[in-house]
């Protein structure tokens, strides 16, 4: 399977980036085609007002590498793992801009929007977080927001890995061993049991075998 | 230290009860005085309208074991761990009634309410959950609600243990090994790093030593 | 249309009960068959362990009025509005028990569970809240939990009315005029625009006509 | 009083911008010094890795208007109202970047960080939202995140105005009349009753007079 891991921290060797790399390693170990990208390498700006900047042919005029990553890496991926530090109780602006700018391709004014919509559907998704603080709701908004995105796209939310750290590399000393958890998460990403039922979903009485 | 673990499932051998017992075991192993109680053993009904049922001397007239557990077990405890199955995306009605009925003692119409308020303040708190489903927000409301309770009481939210299961004993087979996690959570409950800062909280740059 | 409004506060003349009555009035004014019930009138206890108390014929053995209300009032209703005071950042234990005890009829061990499941599906749902405090997340857990219930049941979450008050009748003086809002909510309950899209939902570019 | 209203949509005449302008008008009508700014006018990029780009004198080297707005407008304001469209269940990346980049001044490596921290504390805050969808949790993550920010900064979360719309100007036709609500929100912003208690907060038994 193809998986895209997106590290959205401005720090390339920060805590969430270390966890993202561990997820990538786990995916590769399990035989998947896993790519780790850094948002700052290809994403240079915010969503704009499409009425101002969409070209006559329907293409987005923002000149950076987002178009290529979104169309050639995100859409074809079977799995997507977003890694972000928790800043002010939310995802990084980089990661948010990654989502916001899907609009340039997803909107009906983009000529191939129906292909884009098909490509956005049905992925397995995961979230990798780092934060200084430990109170459980520190991640509530990020997880809630991501959950809604996954459901909207008819995807499967595989799970969350959360390491605690502030200074670079701190997560390596986190007694909860998030680096190991991230590696395992990558390894099991495409096979892990993950459910989101509705009242008429048929399922077994036992969760485990 | 004294810890109260409250199992609030109607099943005495259900998944959250198994996790609660593991937390109790971990607390005991670390040398703490840990008690595991089952809500159904002492809590027989809902909060009523105090104007109807408070006695002339200010005591609650609901006749069950809640008064004794709340005053003699909950208030003196340094730590409180609530275990609940997630039913309909919330805590069990038993656990909710446990919280609701604090009002009978916490309200100003109870003669010793100021002692009660003192006793409710500053505990370490933990949450133990079981659920059939795995999507991360399945626990969002329970954790959010508990977090608010902990903050209101100026306590410390130590963390959450979450096992997946539906049939009795299912959590024993959960590959995430929640029984082991619950045991460890108990052992480390009074020493685990747990933070909830405000802008003027002085803290070190590194989370881990 | 048939609507059931459930007041789940132990106070019959409390703030959420006043709002519930206003919703009922609005529903009736719009020509709907609206019933207001008080949870304490028919719900006397918590969900138990079905393995202990289900009768040989599959019926629930808890003796109170829940069975009749659930089967004869809740299931046939096209709309359901739950009213609750926010106690400790959650719904009242009464309202939670109302949901928990659906299990006695929804579980496969109840002979007519497939009819029950059909009856639970597709309702319009609303939430009526009162709280002393005003910070917006005071209702976050209740709304989140209810939202998940509505989605699980493939229903439509029409909206929330929230009045602020503590002493009985306080909401009457709330400058946000929640009694009026509750009345209007009832009147518009079955016609109000309410959406919860997924990526492939076809919809107009304009929300309003 | 001084209030800063920040419109963070890329559309200058979009739905959240209309609501932001209505809040500004209400503030002015009540005699306050209210400024409405558009994020895209002064915020050109994301937070970077401070280790790479902080100047030797501790100043941030990102060259856009953020520094001036943050230091000269945000810090001195007694009230701050953030307006954002809900994109993918979160605030716009522009608004998130506004928060992320506080770090450049708030971090200890900025020479006057203690003044910055003082300036960030204790403001009244409000949130203005627009969204296409109406299901109540569409705003859950944004409100939750903002709530945490407000609490961290020991501020007061005055409330939320939420209009529904998708095409430009749609909110004008929203039967919930959010433009009027936004205007009123502005007018009452500095006097509106707003609470977030803890267990030992002394308060009256009645919320309203």
pLDDT of residue A138: 98
pLDDT at B56: 94
Q: What is the pLDDT of residue A52?
A: 87
Contact: D200, B151; criterion CB under 8 Å: no
Q: Given pLDDT bands bounded at 50, 70 and 90, which one contains residue B89?
A: very high
Collect all residues of chain C within an 8 Å Cβ-Cβ radius of residue D136.
127, 143, 147, 157, 159-160
| Dihedral sign computed on CA atoms, order A97, A99, A105, A107 | negative
Q: How far is CA A150 from CA A99, A153, B65, D34, in A?
A: 12, 5, 45, 39
Which token pair is A87? 């800043």
**For A19, which DSSP code?**
H
Range D50-57 average pLDDT: 91
Spatial CA neighbour of C176 closest among D164, D202, D27, D160: D160
List of chain B residues whose C-beta atoms are within 8 Å of the C-beta of residue C96:
87-88, 90-93, 96
What mean pLDDT comes out for the span D8-23?
A: 97
Mutate which: C136, C153, C209, vs D, most D CBs within 10 A = C136
Torsion sign across C-alpha atoms B18, B24, B27, B31: negative
Please check the confidence at residue D57 and state whether its pLDDT lies above 90: yes
Return the structure tokens found at A50: 């499409």
D53 pLDDT more than 90: no
Average pLDDT over residues C101-109: 95
The whole-angstrom distance between B198's CA and the closest CA on chain D is 4
Distance CA(A57)–CA(A110), nearest Å, equals: 8
Q: Is B50 exposed, middle or buried (0-12, 13-18, 19+ CB in 10 A)?
A: middle
Over residues D67-81, the pLDDT tens digits come to 999 999 999 999 999
At residue C53 the predicted structure's pLDDT band, cuts being 50, 70 and 90, is confident
Q: How far apart are CA D162 and CA A139, in angstroms?
A: 24
What is the mean predicted confidence (pLDDT) over D51-72? 94
State how far the Cα of C17 lies from the Cα of C84, in Å rounded to an integer. 8
Q: Where are the alpha helices (DSSP H) in D75-209?
A: 93-100, 103-106, 113-120, 140-152, 178-188
C127 vs D contacts (CB less than 8 Å): 136
Burial A145-162 (b: 16+ CB within 10 A, else e): bbbbbbbbbebbbbbbbb
Read off the pLDDT of residues B8-63 as tens digits, 9 standing for 90 and up: 999 999 999 999 999 999 999 999 999 999 999 999 999 999 888 899 999 999 99
Sorted by sequence, the CB contacts under 8 Å of residue A21 that are 6+ apart come out as: A7, A36
From A140, A195, A197, residue closest to B144, measured CB to CB: A140
- 3-class SS of residue C184: helix
Q: List, for residues A139-156, the tens digit of each pLDDT value.
A: 999 999 999 999 999 999
Give the residue numbers in D contacting A (CB under 8 Å), as ranges.
10-12, 14, 40, 44-49, 51, 87-94, 96-97, 99-100, 102-103, 137-138, 140-142, 144-145, 148-149, 152
Average pLDDT over residues A34-43: 98
Q: Per the CB < 8 Å rule, is B121 touching D199?
A: yes
Residue D78: phi, psi to the nearest 5? -85, -25
| pLDDT of D52 | 87
Longest dimension (CA), chain B: 56
- Tell me the pLDDT of chain D averaged across its residues: 97
Q: Given a cut of 90, is residue D96 above it in pLDDT?
A: yes
pLDDT per residue over A105-133, tens digit each? 999 999 999 999 999 999 999 999 999 99
What value of ipTM does the predicted structure carry? 0.97
Percent of chain D with pLDDT over 70: 100
What pLDDT was estimated at residue B189? Answer: 98
Q: How much is the pLDDT for A209?
A: 81
Euclidean distance between CA atoms A18 and A7, whole angstroms: 9
Band of residue C78 on the pLDDT scale cut at 50, 70, 90: very high
Choose from D133, D135, D203, D205 for mutation: most chain C CBs within 10 A.
D135
- A48 vs D10, D49, D140: nearest CB: D10
């Amino acid at each position: 399977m193809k998986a895209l891991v997106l590290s959205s921290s401005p720090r390339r060797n920060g805590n969430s980036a270390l966890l993202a790399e561990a997820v990538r390693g786990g995916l590769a170990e399990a035989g998947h085609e896993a790519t780790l990208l850094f948002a700052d390498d290809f994403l240079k700006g915010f969503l704009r007002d499409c009425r101002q900047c969409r070209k006559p042919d329907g293409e987005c005029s923002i000149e950076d590498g987002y178009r290529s990553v979104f169309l050639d890496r995100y859409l074809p991926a079977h799995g997507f793992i977003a890694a972000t530090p928790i800043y002010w109780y939310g995802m990084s602006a980089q990661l948010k801009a990654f989502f916001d700018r899907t609009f340039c391709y997803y909107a009906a004014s983009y000529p191939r929007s129906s292909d884009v919509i098909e490509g956005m559907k049905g992925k397995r998704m995961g979230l990798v977080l780092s934060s200084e603080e430990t109170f459980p709701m520190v991640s509530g908004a990020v997880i809630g927001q991501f959950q809604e995105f996954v459901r909207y796209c008819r995807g499967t939310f595989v799970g969350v890995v959360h390491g605690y750290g502030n200074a670079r590399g701190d997560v390596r000393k986190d007694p909860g061993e998030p680096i190991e958890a991230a590696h395992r998460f990558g390894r099991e990403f495409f096979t892990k049991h993950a459910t989101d039922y509705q009242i008429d979903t048929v399922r077994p009485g036992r969760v485990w075998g």
